Amino acid sequence: MEQNKIPQATAKRLPLYYRFLNNLNQQGKKRVSSKELSEAVKVDSATIRRDFSYFGALGKKGYGYNVEYLLGFFRSTLDQHEVTEVALIGAGNLGTAFLKYSFLKNNNIRITKAFDADPSKVGTDIDGVPIYHVDELVEQLDGISVAILTVPSSEAEAITEKLVNEGVNGILNFTPARITVPQHVRVHHIDLAVELQSLVYFLKHYPLDKE
Amino acid sequence: MEQNKIPQATAKRLPLYYRFLNNLNQQGKKRVSSKELSEAVKVDSATIRRDFSYFGALGKKGYGYNVEYLLGFFRSTLDQHEVTEVALIGAGNLGTAFLKYSFLKNNNIRITKAFDADPSKVGTDIDGVPIYHVDELVEQLDGISVAILTVPSSEAEAITEKLVNEGVNGILNFTPARITVPQHVRVHHIDLAVELQSLVYFLKHYPLDKE
DNA sequence: AAAAAGTCGTGATGTTATTCACAAATTAAT
DNA sequence: ATTAATTTGTGAATAACATCACGACTTTTT
Ligand SMILES: NC(=O)c1ccc[n+]([C@@H]2O[C@H](COP(=O)([O-])OP(=O)(O)OC[C@H]3O[C@@H](n4cnc5c(N)ncnc54)[C@H](O)[C@@H]3O)[C@@H](O)[C@H]2O)c1
Ligand SMILES: NC(=O)c1ccc[n+]([C@@H]2O[C@H](COP(=O)([O-])OP(=O)(O)OC[C@H]3O[C@@H](n4cnc5c(N)ncnc54)[C@H](O)[C@@H]3O)[C@@H](O)[C@H]2O)c1
């Protein structure tokens, strides 16, 4: 909403900065330079300064950045004051791993409902997250606008349509399927097989000792 | 090795193209245009043609691409004729999900060994993949050059050092830790919390009905 | 045989992201 | 006080990537 001039590449790095600032703060560090931050998050220091500068002059020349101030700034920028509820569809191997992981530690994100088609899973819960039948999506999904998709790829398209109908406008898709969505819906793909394969490709085809 | 002029962005899309070509081939399709492919993988058709063109003239004007030929071409480009062995470190929630997943279906990649520090896991196997103690890395890792890292983030740095010493030069890192490696080692980060958080950020801060 | 439709490959252009490099400001040291 | 050392914020340069748009060629239709 606010000012949508933040480059996408920058926006993707914000959570990373936020996490490291949190670490620093917990360690009691009071100030940090773009150079230090750069070494920690492996992003060029000029890029970090540029990223920060989109939000105004957050640092002080010759000093660096005040950890607490910066942390507070990003906390509100990333809406960390309110918990974001997320639904998970497909409580299989991958889905279960996510359900057992607490994203709440550093990020105010919580998976509050899971859905599956397997009758033996429906009605149970995993680490406190209840598993509903996927047919109950319509009744149970209200208010939730982000979903994690970990169903078999053959089901991805059909489930996506349901999700979108129920008002979901952000999907984190772990299936290999490239799903079709209306323009107002944002999909991030995480394709493990592709990641692995492209890593192997890079190793075999790129010079070994310079990036 | 060969010609290292392939842009990184292109290289990352190759496995995706490969997978869809495989699908098409299995469906018995003989030819495909960049337009059709574009709709399937959600990549602009001009980008697809450009990507392919780095490898020479693979298509025919007015016709499109021969599925079988293209598939064969990418199979060898992606070294799909030989199986790539991969090790997994940390057979916890996430690691177990990966061990149960067969990457072999479409990609000639196989996790052949897993390592963990938990004595109750060592000596067992998951879906046929044996779990060794992490202290056995040195003896057991020979020949393997790619590793998947799914240990607690506090362990990431120490394990990475061991892996690198043993000759691993590709790491798929699922921990939130930003690990330090020598120049010749390639790390791909998959940071689930960051993905989720940046997705939420985009939804809240970007115009809703145009990309 | 001719016309129409389809499609590639790519030069040109547009867009987004990264990095350099330095003046201006601040802090730290002498 | 003065000088030296830091470090930001940013204009300008560079690099990487995506897209447009069209000539050239092929296939299909009439
Ligand atoms: N596990 C991995 O390491 C891995 C790696 C790469 C990709 N993936 C992809 O992630 C997805 C999930 O993988 P997984 O290993 O967890 O598979 P899985 O089979 O263990 O889990 C799928 C779950 O979805 C449920 N399901 C099936 N149809 C459903 C429906 N219509 N509605 C709701 N739930 C339904 C199943 O009951 C099951 O619990 C797959 O698309 C897979 O290709 C997984
Ligand atoms: N599960 C998720 O959804 C999720 C999400 C985001 C990030 N992550 C990250 O992925 C990593 C793994 O997550 P998880 O949920 O599978 O955790 P987990 O605790 O279930 O698994 C970690 C495994 O590593 C093993 N281990 C501990 N120390 C080890 C060592 N020194 N050498 C070898 N193995 C060792 C443990 O015995 C355990 O089996 C963590 O870094 C976590 O932050 C997980």
The answer to whether residues B41 and B17 touch, using CB atoms and an 8 Å cutoff, is: yes
**Axis crossing angle, helix A67-77 with helix A8-26, rounded to the nearest 10:** 130
C-alpha distance from A35 to closest chain B C-alpha (Å) = 15
What string of DSSP letters covers A83-100? Answer: PEEEEEE--SHHHHHHHT
At B1, the pLDDT band (50, 70, 90 cuts) reads very low
From chain A, the residues in CB contact with B188 under 8 A are 195, 198-199
Is there contact between B184 and strand C, defined as CB under 7 Å from any strand atom? no
- Which has the closest alpha carbon to A34: A69, A72, A61, A12? A61
The answer to whether residues A175 and A156 touch, using CB atoms and an 8 Å cutoff, is: yes
The answer to whether residues A85 and A112 touch, using CB atoms and an 8 Å cutoff, is: yes
Name A129's bridge partners. Answer: A126
- Name the residue with tokens 């949190």: A22
Average confidence (pLDDT) over B159-167: 96
Residue B67 token pair: 């599925």
| A169–B193 CB contact, under 8 Å | no
Chain A window 13-52: residues with CB closer than 7 Å to nucleic chain C are 43-44, 46-47, 49-50
Cα separation, B207 vs B9, whole angstroms: 26
B91 lines ligand 2 (CB under 6 A): yes
Considering the entire predicted model, what is its pTM?
A: 0.95
Protein B11 CA to nucleic acid C9 C1', in Å? Answer: 19
Displacement of CA B129 from its chain's centroid (Å):
19
Asked if residue A208 has pLDDT above 60, the reply is no
pLDDT, position A108: 86
Asked if the C-beta of A154 comes within 8 angstroms of chain B's C-beta atoms, the answer is no
Asked if residue B116 has pLDDT above 50, the reply is yes
Fold of A84-194: Rossmann fold (3.40.50)
Chain A window 47-66: residues with CB closer than 7 Å to nucleic chain C are 47, 49-50, 60-63
The answer to whether residues B203 and A168 touch, using CB atoms and an 8 Å cutoff, is: no
Between A64-73, A96-105, A160-169, the lowest mean confidence (pLDDT) is in: A96-105
Share of chain B above pLDDT 90, in %: 87
Displacement of CA A77 from its chain's centroid (Å):
15
pLDDT, position B4: 60
At A193, the pLDDT band (50, 70, 90 cuts) reads very high
Residue A88's identity, in one-letter code, is L
Asked if the C-beta of B195 comes within 8 angstroms of chain A's C-beta atoms, the answer is yes
| A93–B100 CB contact, under 8 Å | yes
Fold match between domain B3-77 and domain B84-194: no
Between A51-60, A89-98, A103-112, the lowest mean confidence (pLDDT) is in: A103-112
Asked if residue A166 has pLDDT above 90, the reply is yes
Asked if the C-beta of B82 comes within 8 angstroms of chain A's C-beta atoms, the answer is no
pLDDT, position B211: 34
Residue-wise pLDDT tens digits, A172-182: 999 999 999 99
Strands A84-89 and A146-149: parallel
Asked if residue A155 has pLDDT above 90, the reply is yes
Asked if residue B209 has pLDDT above 70, the reply is no
pLDDT, position A4: 60
Average confidence (pLDDT) over B191-199: 94
Length of chain B: 211
Nearest ligand (C-alpha, residue A102): 2
Beta strand segments in A107-209, E: 109-116, 125-126, 129-133, 146-149, 170-173, 186-189
From chain A, the residues in CB contact with B198 under 8 A are 11-12, 14-15, 188
3-class state of residue A55 by DSSP: coil
- Which has the closest alpha carbon to A87: A19, A134, A121? A134
3-class state of residue A125 by DSSP: strand
Fold of B3-77: Arc Repressor Mutant, subunit A (1.10.10)
Which of A44, A201, A208, A209 to mutate against chain B (most B CBs within 10 Å)?
A201
What string of DSSP letters covers B129-149? Answer: EEEEEGGGHHHH-TT--EEEE
Chain B window 5-64: residues with CB closer than 7 Å to nucleic chain C are 33-35, 45-46, 49-50, 52-53, 57-64
Which residue in A has a C-alpha nearest to residue B182's C-alpha? A209
At B3, the pLDDT band (50, 70, 90 cuts) reads low
Asked if residue B57 has pLDDT above 70, the reply is yes
Q: Where are the domains of chain A?
A: 3-77, 84-194
Residue-wise pLDDT tens digits, B171-187: 999 999 999 999 999 99
3-class state of residue B61 by DSSP: coil
